[in-house]
A and B are shown apart, each in its own frame.
Chain A
Amino acid sequence: MTKIRTLYEKLWDSHVVAELPGGDSLLYIDRQILHEVSSPQAFVAMRDSGRQLRRPETHIAVADHAVPTRNRHGAIEDLQARAQVAELETNVAEFSVPYAALEGSEQGIVHVIGPETGFTLPGTTIVCGDSHTTTHGAFGALAFGIGASEQGTVMAAQVLPQARAKTMKVELVGQLAPHVDAKDIALALIARIGAHGAVGHAVEYAGPAVSAMSMAQRMTLCNMTIEAGSRIGIVAPDETTFAYLKGRRLAPDGARWDAAVTYWRTLASDAGATFDKTVTLDLAAIEPQVSWGTSPNQTLPIGAAVPDPATIADATVRRETEKALAYMGLTPGQKLEDVAIDHVFIGSCTNGRIEDLRAAAAVVRGRKVASGVKAIIVPGSAATRAAAEGEGLDRVFTDAGFEWRFAGCSMCVAMNDDRLAPGQRCASTSNRNFEGRQGAGGRTHLVSPAMAAAAAVTGHLADVRKLV
């Protein structure tokens, strides 16, 4: 009889190259994605040691983090960013790494183009020098973020020593209410289990509600798993996954496709598989969420008020709350819906896909961005941007007063010129409300695309359900 295993254990077992004496395993890495900001030092290490990539064809490189989003013509204005992109281009040429050019049709955020091109496949191990590599877990891949040194190891040897994680099942039951989305589920989950609630665990999202989700929703959910402290969030591949992948440029075709799907169908947790932890969320009870603090677990439903530290018994939580409120410039007891905003950012590897843009456009259509608010839409990829333009979404946004940008990480990481000034407040579809994340002194409220759109047209944090 075969052993009853979780999906994580199956993915793990199928990639063990060797067991190491200290208890870690040497894990085979099928795919690596490289970007301009975290790869330079890994390439330097390759060059210094005279190594070649073991399998360059298992890599894909793209510039996304530091690139400008206002235009794609001519040289990049910022000299450091220009140098970084040039260095990436030199490196991919020297080491024969497939490259999605900045001006090309496949450029975009690493975690958006991986799935879009079919580079991301079920049953694979995928790494990238970016913590949101969890995103690819939506396809039933074992995907995790790594550092630059580890990137060098994967380039040279196609393996990484890894410690096996514990397992955590997040069971989603019930039906989401209208205008509540995957982002709200992710934020509600993190608020419940904490920003380090999943440390040391590989999270599997399961249950009927997950089966009903689109790939975009699954990606949003898996993407945010790192904000609960876990490097790995996975969903078992199913018909939705296969339908998404079929025909994509790098997905297998013909007999190879059929063989792959046959294998991929075995990638689910066996009935009776046990998890070290299980959390159940009733989706029907989830309301649109908004983060009020500087850690993603500092999140509440939009109808709530800013917490009052005076009423918090736990000294640590009280101190953290006081610190967050001081940074965020909020008053205890203030209604979240009364919080005025300066900026709106819709985009990122969390919420920069076509489905996200459609959800935002549905709210924006026929409305105007509130006066004094600067609102930008940054599609997750060139392909997403083109698809949105094909549907006329760009016009919906620009008619309302949004800026329609080129693809990149933009205000999610604030490495280019898209950033907040100190004290400015942003409703953002990105993934981190950390201090300074959107610019030194900037204040971030994490929301879904529909909620960001609602904030843009009202000028304050707003309940999208009251607008539609």
Chain B
Amino acid sequence: MVEIPSGSIPSAEVEDVELYHPHSWWTKYVFSQDAKIIAVQYSVTAISIGMVALVLSWLMRIQLAFPGALSFIDADHYYQFITMHGMIMVIYLLTALFLGGFGNYLIPLMVGARDMVFPYANMLSYWIYLLAVLILVAGFFAPGGPTGAGWTLYPPQSVLSGTPGGKDWGILLMLSSLIVFIIGFTMGGLNYVVTVLQGRARGMTLMRMPLTVWGIFTATVMALLAFPALFVACVMMMFDRVLGTSFFMPAIVEMGEQLKHGGGSPILFQHLFWFFGHPEVYIVALPAFGIVSDLISTHARKNIFGYRMMVWAIVIIGALSFVVWAHHMYVSGMNPAFGFFFATTTLIIAVPTAIKVYNWVLTLWRGDIHLTLPMLFALAFIVTFVNGGLTGLFLGNVVVDVPLSDTMFVVAHFHMVMGVAPILVIFGAIYHWYPKVTGRMLNETLGQIHFWITFLGTYAIFFPMHYLGLLGVPRRYFEMGETAFVPPSAHTLNVFITVMALIVGAAQIVFLFNLVWSLFRGREAGGNPWRATTLEWQTPQTPPAHGNWGKELPVVYRWAYDYSVPGAAEDFIPQNVPASGGVTREVPA
């Protein structure tokens, strides 16, 4: 170890910065290889398709509360809306926005890189994603409409004529779209992983990375290992549907006609699907965990409590999430002994998750909490996530799950834990990083309106749903009709939920308006409006130019959470500020 003044540390090599100056408008804004532009492209596409899914949920809710009010919704359409709503929200919105959007924007900036390591593949990744979205949307215009198989696409029903799109284009377009999405995601995912491994600035050890990067990094590794399961399942189902093989298709009589299939195993599909499907929950949750840690620390002006534990928890959750998939299959008729195993692993996963929640709360404890919009959303996330997580403990137990399976309780659970909770983080993150992306602040008043309606409104929607589930109201029913076991009060509650859903949906228009309005009229933000420590706030320009750092790459001297350091002049010290007294230790690698 050598003690030398910090000034003499040679900064990392100066690359050919000229490389980062695209010359035409097309290469700068459309076919851009700049991760920041790609991030915006991903985000805009994901939010746009997400709005489609939001409207679909409105239509479903209207049908549930006022059956027959909209004459064009018949049973087939209802199932198509359910399917597309679920698939879009989980994959094309949440996955794409967290990894493609936030991953692209934040990873290079937060680790002090100029860009992703493979910018060209990164650009391709976006265009392939866009293609996947277009194929998905094409389903709406195809003969027979999109598939109505439910987002899990369980065979054999998904490829039979009783299901909308089963014998038409719908299921084919859905499977193709997923296959294309996975190819595109793999290109992006390789980028995120290798950039974190190789692109970090000098001094940025793994344990100095902001938790956002840890979350996105771990989620990407998981996605790279989990998406192949969906890929294989889609290819095999494509074979069954188009070429007549029997991977998943048992012997079956359809419309009085014996089909050529025989012997296939629908359970095999469920295993493959949920081997992807469960990690997918954490692929969405881990980036949210990471981001929310940074939001809380920054806006409570306090270092994150238990940083090491937070990192370990992320990694352990990531690992455990691969051995819990069959808890989605308790009622599939699989070996009951498996149920015991998977219930145990499911409950174990609650331990690292609970550690994270405690650490967030302990970070807030005696912090200097600023109730800014990002902080409000972060707080809302914690509460929502705890609620959704607790019902997860219910459903993780076989004996509790079996009666609750296929009821509204399940719908309430997963919407709380992986619908509303990550979306709240996305909103918080957008309010937090929008000033960096555009150079302007989002409007505070509009933001407050958006926050309170969204937060309270989603509770009004999903809390009563738990109760409906306990009453035994089934999910996936197009119309309750005069069912003996559903009391009239359930109908009243359904109307309430629908009205709230319409209000919450409409509140998102305020948000979208705010995004556009602030782009032109927002208050100038300056380089570091939140007085945050992480590297993305220390760029020479705001918004950062292509290449991010001007001539010299930053050197990192400290971890990401030096807030309210005793004796420091300011209540935050950015990561690239050398130790006080100018003494820097160099440690061998």
Q: Do chains A and B stick together as partners?
A: no
